[in-house]
Amino acid sequence: MSMDRREFLKAAGLSAVAGLGAKGAFDLFMPGDVDASEHEGHSEHGEGHGGMAEAGPKVRLAMAIDVLQLKDHSKVDKIRAACDNAHNIPHWDSKDDEIKWIWEDEYEHVFPDSHNEYLADEVRELPFLLMCNHCDDPPCARVCPVEATFKRPDGIVAQDYHRCIGCRFCMAACPYGSRSFNWFDPRIPLKAEGRKLNPRFPTRMRGVVEKCNFCVERLAEGKKPACVEACPDVMIYGNLADPNSKIRKVLRERVSLRRKLELGTKPSVFYLV
């Protein structure tokens, strides 16, 4: 087939118009994936409190804390001591170096979004026990670049110290301040205090982030978490996915609060008031 210059230019021009038009049509009718990773993340974390009734996981561990009972401050000390001893948690003098697994604060700081100046004195002065919320959609796990922190199928947000590189992204991501960084060797204060260590649990090393692990090592052995064992009337743990569990029963009967719900992390620590 022969083609002169004039015909060639006509065909080329038409093809160009058709090509541009086709691209526009494609974009219009078949929009591409916006951000694959984001969608993936959601489907992965989609299970949990939301659709729990039918399709959710079989086990979803959670903690309910009966804060009204903490008026007796000796219980706070008892619970914190049980956790410290179970996990060889060091005590630093400076607040900057503090390692926190379970600690206390007042209502105003725990629920800054629902502070109310006419709040009952009784609640205002209560010590609230704070710990890792073991969120359903944990922001700490999402930002960890090495997957050192991850959500287990039973809902516990676990931390693998072998993998942690100490970048502290998770500390920035956690809206509850539940994570602490080992700026120094945690064995220094443990040694200085002359503490008797729990031989069944390791210490940590300098340069890793740590937090409450829901006593995953004790649950594996069929024991209760250390805080629950210390004060079973204050700390109530159980399986949210089981409607007959102790925690579901207490949540049905009592008014409960959760921290910073508006952030959508779906925390699993409930405060009974």
Partner 1 sequence: MYDTGKVITGLVIFVGIFTFAFWYTAGTAAPRPEPKLDTPEIQKMAKKQCVEDTQFMITTHMQLLNKLRDQALRDGNRWYVNSKGEKVWISLQNTCLKCHSNKKDFCDKCHNYAGVDPYCWDCHIDPNRSEL
Burial 69-106 (b: 16+ CB within 10 A, else e): ebeeeebbeebbebbbbbbbbbebeeeebebbbbbbee
Cβ pair 48, 57 in contact under 8 A:
yes
CA 268 to CA 56: how far, in whole Å?
A: 15
For the CA atoms of the chain, what is the radius of gyration?
26
Does 85 participate in binding partner 1 (rule CB under 8 A)? no
CA 248 to CA 228: how far, in whole Å?
A: 16
Q: What is the smallest separation between the CB atom of 92 and partner 1, expressed in angstroms? A: 16
Q: Scanning residues 161 to 180, which ones bind partner 1 (CB under 8 A)? A: 161-162
Say which DSSP state 225 is in.
Answer: P
Which is closer to partner 1, CB of 127 or CB of 155? 155
Which is closer to partner 1, CB of 169 or CB of 201? 201
Which is closer to partner 1, CB of 75 or CB of 179? 179
Residue 260, C-beta contacts closer than 8 angstroms, at least 6 positions apart: 113, 175, 176, 267
CA atoms within 13 A on the CB side of 100: 20
Q: What is the smallest separation between the CB atom of 235 and partner 1, expressed in angstroms? A: 22
> Which one of 220, 252, 253, 255 is in contact with partner 1 (CB under 8 A)?
220
Q: What is the smallest separation between the CB atom of 69 and partner 1, expressed in angstroms? A: 32
Does 142 participate in binding partner 1 (rule CB under 8 A)? no
Which is closer to partner 1, CB of 106 or CB of 160? 160
Q: Are strands 269-272 and 61-66 parallel, antiparallel or unpaired?
A: parallel
Which is closer to partner 1, CB of 70 or CB of 148? 148
Does 154 participate in binding partner 1 (rule CB under 8 A)? yes
Cβ pair 140, 179 in contact under 8 A:
yes
Q: What string marks each residue from 180 to 199 as x (binds partner 1 by CB under 8 A) or -?
A: -------x--xx--x-xx-x
Stretch of 37-45, 120-128, 151-159, 261-269 contacting partner 1, by CB under 8 A: 151-159
Does 152 participate in binding partner 1 (rule CB under 8 A)? yes
Which is closer to partner 1, CB of 224 or CB of 254? 224
CA atoms within 13 A on the CB side of 223: 13
Q: Measuring CA to CA, which residue among 223, 215, 224, 209 is closest to residue 100?
A: 209
Which is closer to partner 1, CB of 98 or CB of 154? 154
> Which one of 13, 21, 51, 202 is in contact with partner 1 (CB under 8 A)?
202
Q: What is the smallest separation between the CB atom of 154 and partner 1, expressed in angstroms? A: 8
Hey, CA dihedral for 24, 25, 26, 32, is it positive or negative?
positive
Cβ pair 158, 132 in contact under 8 A:
no
Binding residues for partner 1, rule CB under 8 A, total 24
Does 160 participate in binding partner 1 (rule CB under 8 A)? yes
Does 158 participate in binding partner 1 (rule CB under 8 A)? yes
Look-up: residue for tokens 């804060």? 67
Give residues in contact with partner 1 (CB under 8 A): 88, 150, 152-154, 158, 160-162, 187, 190-191, 194, 196-197, 199-205, 216, 220
